[in-house]
Structure formats: C-alpha cells, structure tokens
Amino acid sequence: MRAKNPIKMGVFLLVVLGVCAVLVSSFRMHVRGRSWWFAVEQLFYLKKVVVVGQQKIKEEEILNYLYLKKDKPLWSFSIESMRQALLLHPLIKEVELRRDLPHSLEIRIQEHQEKGLVALGGLYLVNEKGDIFARISSQNMPHKPVITGLSKELYQTDRNTWDRLIEMAFDFLAAADAHAIEVTDVHVDRVLGVSAHFWFESDKKEGAILQDDVMVAKVFMGHEKFSQKLARLLEMKQLLEHQGKWGSTFFLNYSRHPEWVVVKSEALRSSRAQSLTTTQAYSAR
C-alpha cells in the first residue's frame, strides 16, 4: 500500500481551509449587507398618508381602496396601480398621488360634482357633463329634482341626443333656481321639450289646496327661453291668486310666443277643475 504524500495532503488541507474561510467571510458580509439595507429601508417606511381635496368621501373609505401596509418602503408602492384602484370609487373623478420622502404619501382627490339626479330604473347621479357616475339608494337621495324621460339605452347608443336633453334639463333647473322656484321633478322629451312639477307657497294662507299652504302645479315649458317663461309664470300665479284661483297646469310651450300662457285653474277653496284657455287674456300686455 502506497503511503500518502504529506506535501500534497498539506496543500489540499490549506485549500479546503481557504475555501471555508472565504465562504464564512462571504456569509458574514451578506448578513451585514442585508442588515444595512434593512436599516435603510426602515428610514423610508410608509408612516403617514395625507388625503386632500375630498368633500363627501371619508378618508378611511379612500384608504380602504388601497390596502396600504405601513411596514413597507415608499418605493414598493406603485403610483399608477394605486391611482387605478382609487378611480374605481364611483364618486372619484380624478386622483393624483405623490411620494413625499422620507415616509409620507399624499393623495389629491377630485370628486365628481353632482349636477343632477336621473331616473333610469334606479336613481343615478350625473355630473356637469351629463356623465353617469354613481347609483344611489332612495335612503341616500340628495335634495335634487329627479330628471325623467331618459334611458340607459339612450346613454349608451346616442350620446348626442342624451347630452342635448340633459343640457336642456340643466338649463331649465338653473332658470328655476334663479327665480327661486322649487322643482320636484323634470321630464324631458325630444318633441315636447321640458315639463315639470313645482311646489308653490300660496300667498292666500286660508285657501291652500294642499296642507301647510303648499300647492303643486304641472308646467309645460317647451325647449327654450325658460327664464322668460318662468317670470311670466310667476306673474300669472300672482294674478290667479288675487282672483281666488290656483293654476294646476300651466302651458308655456309656445316657442314663437314665450309670453303666452294657457292655464287650467281651480278655485282655491274648491277642488272642481275649471278649464281656462285664455291665450289672449294672458298674452303680452
């Protein structure tokens, strides 16, 4: 049996020990490196979220859409992914996110502005452009007139007609607000234009048809010149009340003669309807 060469054995052992020393040193450097990197990450952990711009949406509701974990550094959160998640909220129109080093995240919210309430099987909110952005329940219904006469099919297939009709409803409601007339609902029609129901307080307290001295009237307004027609309506209301009558229906849908009013009236103390087609009597002076 041949004896092992002691020189070769010594060299082999030195190589093995050197490799082991290198491995141990590398492992220690790796651990130290990870510790250093972990310490750096902690300096940039998310600790504060600032939400600005919201009016109706609660801050906790916004944060629930993001599922943020505060034991992660700021750069681990995708700005675009968070933006897309927040845009899923029905009341959020636009959102901007910004990292504020070392440990804050700023969220700027732009909400949809409620311009109208539309009946489309359910109740839907629309913004100033006529875009539907949220469905609401009757329990959360805002104090706004309901716009009827529209459909989801029209919204999806004919936006030009939808936009024209919804803009006509908005113009009418703006004119009603300017004249301090309370509108309960507005109906829009391509051919007939706008019709609506109004609440009026009677000047003759002893003669109100409805309780609390408030009476309702249906008004046909046509397609345009709403402010001029509503001013004429208020004049007619006052004239009828001085005569002890109340107009249950007003027709102001004469495009060529916006000053003309046709009234279906009834006595303030009687529920018996009287038909008055008094175009000449109630036309321009």
Q: Is the Cα dihedral 33, 38, 39, 44 positive or negative?
A: positive
**Which residue in the block uniquely carries the two structure tokens 């307290």?**
205
pLDDT of residue 223: 93
Angle at 44 between CA 41 and CA 50, to 5 degrees: 150
Which residues does the chain have with pLDDT short of 50? 1, 15, 19, 22-24, 26-34, 203-212, 268-285
Tell me what the pLDDT averaged over the chain comes to.
77
Tell me if 146 sits within 8 A of 186, measured CB to CB.
yes
Q: Look at residue 266 in the predicted model and tell me its pLDDT.
A: 64
> Can you list the domains of the chain with their CATH numbers?
48-111 (3.10.20.310), 116-276 (3.40.50.11690)
pLDDT at 19: 47
User: Can you give the pLDDT at residue 39?
Assistant: 58
Going by C-beta distance under 8 Å and a sequence separation of 6 or more, which residues neighbour residue 54?
Answer: 62, 109, 111
Amino acid at 21: A
What pLDDT does 114 receive?
84
**CA dist., res. 129 & res. 152, Å (int):** 16
List, as own/partner pairs, every contact residues 261-264 make where C-beta atoms lie below 8 angstroms and the sequence separation is at least 24, other chains included.
261/232, 261/233, 261/236, 263/236
Entry pTM:
0.65
Find the angle CA(267)-CA(272)-CA(277) to the nearest 5 degrees: 70
The Cα–Cα gap between 119 and 141 comes to 12
Q: Which helix (H) or strand (E) holds 116?
A: strand 116-120
User: For residue 124, what are the β-bridge partners?
Assistant: 118, 135
CA distance 38 to 236: 79
pLDDT digits (tens, 9 = 90+) for 190-227: 999 999 998 766 544 444 344 445 567 889 999 999 99
Distances (CA, A) of 129 to 133, 154, 157: 11, 15, 17
Q: How far apart are CA 162 and CA 154, in angstroms?
A: 6
Contacts of 56 (CB under 8 A, 6+ apart): 91, 111
